[in-house]
Structure 1
Amino acid sequence: MKNCASVIGSIVTVTVDRPMGSVHPKHRDIFYPINYGYVEGITVPDGEWQDAYILGVDEPIQEFTGKVIGVIHRLDDVEDKWVVCPENMSFSEKEITEKTDFQEKFFKTEILV
């Protein structure tokens, strides 16, 4: 979790592979009300790129550059999820929880902001 804290405030580019309005490729009952993707070049324990939620963008997009404002640490999974938003915006821990609950409700998590 210590390494997670160091990423907060960083500017990253997220490639969106699950745009707002899409469904999960394997779990068809999970609908994405926000854009979701990955930060290329940062490999995580599952062998994939770092996943990221994008908040504060209200339309489907393909790529986004913004500020990491939080890390969702999954206590019962190997993955952590970054929370990214436009540089001039911020979201509270409660807002992050509400906006990512569509997927995070399946895990035990803590949010670092």
Structure 2
Amino acid sequence: MTQQEGFWQALDDLVANSEIVIDRPRGSRHPRYEEMIYPYDYGYLQGTRAADGDGIDVWVGTQQARQMTGLIVCVDALVRDSEIKILVGCTHEEMEQILAQHNSGLQVGMLIERG
């Protein structure tokens, strides 16, 4: 197994062995930034911890399979941190739309699609 395959496998295992909690359903507004509307379900992996101390963030697309399709790596200039957002069941178009959402403010992101 290559290092890259091992990386994706570790993330697959994390997603498969964690409950996805959706705390911001598709169409809902951000609690602090009313103009931000979530285009897809957004939440976190229960029992995990990201750099901000909360659970690892997850976007869930429209595909039925609960397979991880990519990542978005974000840097937030305002709060001076970075995070990953796991993309589960997202089409290429959905991933691009989510990326655009992350690049629309002080936060900047980069999409890493699973090959």
Q: How does 1:5-24 map to 2 (within 5 A)?
A: 5=8, 6-8=10-12, 10-11=15-16, 12-24=18-30
Determine what percentage of the aligned residue pairs are the same residue.
24
In structure 2, stretches of 5+ residues that fail to align are none
Separation in structure 2 between the aligned mates of residue 29 and residue 4 of structure 1, nearest angstrom: 35
Length-normalised TM-score, structure 2: 0.70
Work out which of the residue numbers 16, 36, 39 in structure 1 matches 2:45.
39
Partner of 2:97: 98
CA-CA distance at 1:98 after TM superposition: 1.8
**Cα contact 1:71–1:82 (8 A) shared by 2:** yes
Sort the Cα spacing of 1:65 and 1:26 in 2 relative to 1 into closer, same or farther, 3 A: farther
Letter in 2 for 1:73: V
Higher Cα Rg: structure 1 or 2?
Answer: 2
Separation in structure 2 between the aligned mates of residue 23 and residue 4 of structure 1, nearest angstrom: 33
- Higher percent of residues as helix: 2
Length-normalised TM-score, structure 1: 0.71
SS of equivalent residue, structure 1 residue 42:
coil
Letter in 2 for 1:111: L
CA-CA distance at 1:17 after TM superposition: 0.3
In structure 1, stretches of 5+ residues that fail to align are 58-63
Number of residue-to-residue matches in the alignment = 101
Partner of 2:108: 108
Q: Which has the higher contact order (CA 8 A, sep 6+)?
A: 1
Deviations 1:4-30 (A, max 9, x none): 644157535311000011100111110
Deviations 1:26-56 (A, max 9, x none): 1111011211111011101100001111111
- Higher percent of residues as strand: 1
Separation in structure 2 between the aligned mates of residue 26 and residue 65 of structure 1, nearest angstrom: 31
